Amino acid sequence: MKELYSVRMRAAAGGPHEEGGRHISGAERLVPEGDVRQVVGAMLDRALNHSRGRPDFINLTLEALPAERVLTVPLLPIRTLAVPDLVAGRRAALNLLIKAGVVRCAAERALTALQALPDSMRGAMLLSAATGERLDGYGGRGVRVTRMDIHPASRLAVREALTSYGLGNNHVLEAGILASKVVSAPGVVAELCWSDDPDYVAGYVAIATCYTRFSYLKPYGSPIGGRAFFVREGTDINATISYLQEQPVLVVPGEDWCVVPEAGEARWNF
């Protein structure tokens, strides 16, 4: 593969994020040089027409990446679990985290911390899977996962698979890409996330074998979302943060990649 460009956008209202601006939108792509202009234009449109409001600060970053720096990791299978309401969704997410190896008290602390956020985080909390103690020291910013995308040769087919189940919006594909990078990071056990988009109430838990969407994980109309990454005891936290924030990654669906709809039976294999 030829040289790729990391294209990153973040938008805020009330000034830059570093000066207390309120986060509006963000996006990440890894693309060939010929796609840069189109991707930048799409990111600007997204920033200027977001449901969280209109930004007065937009930062766009382009970075050339030699092909040898880019790792490939598997795209997680994507399944949806329909739940009747927010309470049931968070209970199901809690149970899945525990099955994945997160101690109950740590999973409960993460849910409490995300519910208590005064506003959305740009990044994620890095938590001990054993205790729920926060390990990253990045405060309201959190650990920002960057430099990732789906392999260009797979993007169209994966989007078609998701669209066939009504999952063709940006939320699912982008979250699946990010989650696939996150669970490939050293020491990461699981991820818990719900969106800051006021109109999007679904959220997910990602573990090494699957990305599971829950149809309700946050109240409708809430502009506050967040992420928590759980890491096992003895993990080199600096190495994990470096991987999440700096290592370029392309995700690739394997032969066993699939979409599992709410009915529970996979009908699309790659």
Q: Is the pLDDT assigned to residue 261 strictly greater than 50? A: yes
Model confidence at 40, pLDDT cuts 50, 70, 90, reads: very high
Give the mean pLDDT of 240-262.
93
pLDDT digits (tens, 9 = 90+) for 87-104: 999 999 999 999 999 999
Q: Is the pLDDT assigned to residue 263 strictly greater than 60? A: no
Both structure tokens of 72: 């490939």
84 plus 58 within the same structural domain: no
pLDDT at 79 (0 to 100): 93
pLDDT digits (tens, 9 = 90+) for 122-136: 799 999 999 999 999
Give the mean pLDDT of 4-24.
81
CA–CA separation, 257 and 252 (whole Å): 9
Q: At what angle do helices 86-99 and 104-115 cross, to 10 degrees?
A: 140
Q: The domain containing residue 220 runs over which residues? A: 72-269
11 plus 126 within the same structural domain: no
Give the mean pLDDT of 18-24.
72
Q: Is the pLDDT assigned to residue 267 strictly greater than 60? A: no
Torsion of CA 132, 184, 164, 200, to 10 degrees: 30
Return the number of other C-beta atoms located less than 10 Å from residue 19's C-beta: 9
96 plus 65 within the same structural domain: no
Model confidence at 19, pLDDT cuts 50, 70, 90, reads: low
85 plus 126 within the same structural domain: yes
54 plus 131 within the same structural domain: no
118 plus 195 within the same structural domain: yes
Model confidence at 241, pLDDT cuts 50, 70, 90, reads: very high
Give the mean pLDDT of 169-188.
95
Q: At what angle do helices 170-183 and 152-163 cross, to 10 degrees?
A: 130
Give the mean pLDDT of 59-75.
94
Give the mean pLDDT of 239-254.
96
pLDDT at 20 (0 to 100): 67
31 plus 103 within the same structural domain: no
Give the mean pLDDT of 146-174.
92
Domain count, the chain: 2
Give the mean pLDDT of 72-101.
95
pLDDT at 138 (0 to 100): 87
pLDDT at 270 (0 to 100): 46
Strand stretches in 46-130, DSSP E? 57-65, 71-74, 78-81, 125-128
174 plus 195 within the same structural domain: yes
Q: Is the pLDDT assigned to residue 258 strictly greater than 50? A: yes
- Residue with the bigger pLDDT between 52 and 77: it is 77
Instruction: Specify whether the CB–CB gap between 70 and 250 falls below 8 A.
Output: yes
Model confidence at 268, pLDDT cuts 50, 70, 90, reads: very low
97 plus 8 within the same structural domain: no
Q: How far is CA 225 from the centre of its chain?
A: 11
- Residue with the bigger pLDDT between 4 and 267: it is 4
pLDDT at 1 (0 to 100): 65
Q: Which of 40, 69, 98 is a domain's end point?
A: 69
Q: What percent of the chain has pLDDT over 70?
A: 95
85 plus 30 within the same structural domain: no
Q: Which of 51, 69, 87 is a domain's end point?
A: 69
DSSP characters over 6-23:
EEEEEEEESS-GGGTPEE
Q: Which of 15, 46, 69 is a domain's end point?
A: 69
196 plus 79 within the same structural domain: yes
Give the mean pLDDT of 19-35.
84
Give the mean pLDDT of 74-78.
96
pLDDT digits (tens, 9 = 90+) for 116-125: 999 888 799 9
149 plus 179 within the same structural domain: yes
CA–CA separation, 242 and 226 (whole Å): 20
